[in-house]
Amino acid sequence: MKQRTSLFNCCSSLVAVVILFFTGCKKRDVLDLQSPSFPNRAEVFIDDFTPDLAYAAFGGSDVKAFQVDNQVSYGGTRQSMRFEVPDANSPQGSYAGGVFFSKTGRDLSGYNALTFYIKATQPATIGVLGFGNDLGENKYLVTLNGLAVNSNWKKVIIPIPDAKKLTQEKGLFYYSTGPENGRGYTFWIDEVRFEKLGDLGHASASILNGVDKQQISYVGVTNTIDGFTATYNLPSGINSTLSVSPNYFKFLNSNASVATVTEKGIVSTIGGGTTKITATLDTMTAKGSLTLNSAGNYVGAPVPTRDAANVISVFSDAYTNINVDYYNGYWAPFQTTQSADFTVNGDHVLNYTNFNFVGIQVTSPTVNIGSKSNLHLDLYLPDNLVTGATFKVRVLDFGANGTPGGGDDVSDIVSFTAPVLTARSWISLDIPFSSLPQLATKAHFGQIIFEGTNISNFFADNIYFWSNPVVPPVAAPVPTRLAANVLSVFSDSYTNLPGSDFFPNWGQTTVVTQTPIGGNNTLRYSNFNYQGLQLAANQNLSTYQFLHLDYYSANAGTLNVYLICPPGSPGGTAPWEKAFSLPVPTSGWNSIDIPLSQFTPQVALNNVFQFKFDGGGGSDIFLDNIYFWRIPPVPPVAAPTPTYPAAGVISIYSDAYTNVPGCDYNPNWGQATVVTQPQIAGNNTLLYTGLNYQGLQFGSNQNVATKQFLHLDYYTANSTALNVYLICPPGSPGGQAPWEKPFALSIPTANGWNSVDIPLSYFTPIVALNNVFQLKFDGNGTIYLDNILFR
């Protein structure tokens, strides 16, 4: 209800009342002071206002809606209360409503109901009637909702839930109602009094509308219990349900270490665990309860860091949100999803329970998201992830008419399952519009719909559309590879091939410029459709292994890079070029190392003379650090020093531990491999040159059954196949033929030494782990090995 806009007393002015208050005071000794007693007058309005009664109209109502009527009354009384409900959109006010209150307060503890008679000029439904509205705290408010009336007088009984509490009540009667079908009408009320009825029966009371709710919570979350009702059996035999203040109820808390509850039903979570909040009303146990399952301290979604200038926010505390109609449309009859949103330390979180689908709607107005390229959502699944769990996100555009279901809507949907979906940790989903191809227009965004299978509950935060700035805010990462292993085409970090043409005329629409970004020269392709890059001389790349690119695009839908050799080049095949697809748009600079083997057999790597980029559709592409590179044939640094406790290690080859004595690192098994032990940065290292296969014989058979892993550090610049075998003697109990099993190692080692821990369980049941005596390596290339041990 709103604050009053008019105040008057039909018997005496407010000024006279104030004077009476002052003139009724005299000096008294403090010891003589006693708790004041309040009159227990029952009458509110019989033929006129009682001496302490005043009236205040609600703000926005017709302040002249109420008048004392001396023409119409109930029974033999002389006057009644007349209420003239205005027409819709009346300039005098949009409804009739106000409060009849005692200026002094009354003791109503001896009564059990408010009664009155009512009739109207026509059949109508009175919005609310009741008592306890005192224009202040309204502590003991009681409301009868939707009372049907007609042109006949009838008696209305509004029971008092617990009269013991009403020892100084000021709110004696209140009402509020609007027009019927846009037209006003008149109703009368008479004989308004409090009574002690002997035939009034209790039926039931409820909180949360009688529902037993279960809710996930965290320390700092506040929940407000609502849905307070009391139902009474009236003398007529009819049950009447009232909305009542929570202050009539006494709340019971099963675990005070988990939550606290105030007399107004505000529940604050203070610890981890489970508690159940129930209530009583006078002598009745209320139906309904709130069970909180607190997970303790709350860990929120990651705080977004994207520039607000590049964001259109639907729900986030980090940005200013657009105008949203609702975050849960409660679409009957098929939706089961409910909302239990919460706030922790100022962090607002959407909480959807009993989830099947739910919609967020934006129509006032719809929003143009055409300048954005992605939808972001932070998602949290508080329950265990079950088999078949699926989470779907649908985005809808309402078309030019801006109306849902208007005939020109377009939408598309994307699905997520495990392993993207995980339980009890925040999942940040960034959905590129390129994955929503049927969302053909984006100028009238209107809805996001979440759909789920085998997901009963989820939290959502930071729902927003975004795009990267067209121009990268920072320069591309500075490369760190040794110049001796690099052939650079475009980079400020290396000496580039001289004479390259970065803008050959191939009939393209692309505009090429070199733009300084963070002081670093950067290639920019504007209005991009395709673009060539002509090397000054044909290049032999056969000794290199990778093409490196740094690229950035906030608005490209597709982007490909081609390597090209002249038609007819020996070692190549038509069409003498091959594309590699680059993921776009980017969320910053993307650094990629493409194996040159991706371009074979179409491209003869010993005779490359051009690049080509295509895709784009008028987009903007930024490129930097275009170069070829190779893994150094010799490791530039020693293998990492292991730090496992020596007591738990069986070392075969390592300077960090005492090795098993007597090991033969080059047994004669007829292999072509050349074995040496060079030092790298002062560290002994096994080197296999020209590997076909190579054995390693332990000084004695080893029981590694109590260990968990075989550890290796290895390095290779040119191997295309590399396996390690663990071997036990044929016939060993616990093993079986062929008594050895290979494990494939990832090669080449593009980023330096590879450290691998192979679970020994991988080699069972072929290898008896209590009796291993050999290792074997096979494959090709030049291999460096160190720190061969069991742990």
Per-residue pLDDT tens over the stretch 626-661: 999 998 889 999 999 999 999 999 999 999 999 999
CB 782 within 8 A of CB 691: yes
Q: Is the pLDDT of residue 252 over 70?
A: yes
The predicted model gives 233-241 an average pLDDT of 93
Q: What is the pLDDT of residue 627?
A: 98
Per-residue pLDDT for 460 more than 70?
yes
Token pair, residue 632, equals: 């150094």
Residue in 297, 299, 296 with CA at minimum distance from that of residue 274: 296
**Residue 23: predicted pLDDT:** 26
Residue 351 has pLDDT above 50, yes or no: yes
Tokens representing residue 192 in the block: 């308004």
Model pLDDT, residue 789: 98
- The model's pTM is 0.57
- Comparing CA positions, the residue from 739, 745, 781 lying closest to residue 763 is 739
What average pLDDT does the segment 742-756 reach? 92
- Asked whether residue 11 carries a pLDDT value surpassing 80, the answer given is no
Closest CA to 64 of 38, 85, 43: 85
The whole-number pLDDT of residue 26 equals 34
Question: What percent of the chain stands above pLDDT 70?
Answer: 95
Which whole number is the average pLDDT over 462-467? 94
Contacts of 106 (CB under 8 A, 6+ apart): 38, 39, 40, 41, 52, 166, 168, 169, 170, 172
- What's residue 421's pLDDT? 96
User: Tell me, what DSSP letter sits at residue 532?
Assistant: E
Predicted pLDDT at 394:
98
Give the least confident one: 89-98, 360-369, 484-493, 744-753. 744-753
Supply the pLDDT for residue 47.
86
- What pLDDT does residue 666 have? 97
Question: Mean pLDDT for the chain?
Answer: 92
Nearest 5°: phi and psi at 19? -60, -40
User: Is the pLDDT at 525 greater than 60, yes or no?
Assistant: yes
Polymer length in residues for the chain: 791
pLDDT tens for 65-99 read 999 999 999 987 789 999 999 999 999 999 999 99
Q: What is the pLDDT of residue 469?
A: 83
With cut-offs at 50, 70 and 90, classify the pLDDT of residue 36.
low
pLDDT at 1: 32
pLDDT for residue 48: 87
How many CB atoms lie under 10 A from the CB of residue 755? 15
Cβ neighbour number for residue 165 with a 10 Å cutoff: 17
**DSSP labels, 440-492:** ---TTEEEEEEEEES--EEEEEEEEEE---SS-SSPPPPP-S-GGGEEEEE-T
Cβ atoms within 10 Å of 228's Cβ, excluding its own: 25
Encode pLDDT of 566-604 as tens digits.
Answer: 999 999 999 999 999 999 988 889 999 999 999 999 999
9 pLDDT higher than 70: no
pLDDT of residue 570: 96
Is 410 in a helix, a strand, or coil? Answer: strand
What is the CA angle 634-639-644, rounded to 5?
165
Q: How far is CA 279 from CA 209, 229, 240, 490, in A?
A: 12, 12, 20, 74
10 Å Cβ neighbour count for 425? 9
Distance CA 112, CA 232 (A): 11
Residue 698 pLDDT > 50: yes
Q: Report the pLDDT value the prediction gives residue 309, as an integer from 0 to 100.
A: 84
pLDDT of 2 > 50? The answer is no
Residue 434: what pLDDT?
87
Q: For residues 747 and 618, which has the higher predicted lDDT (pLDDT)? A: 747
Residue 529, SS3 per DSSP? strand
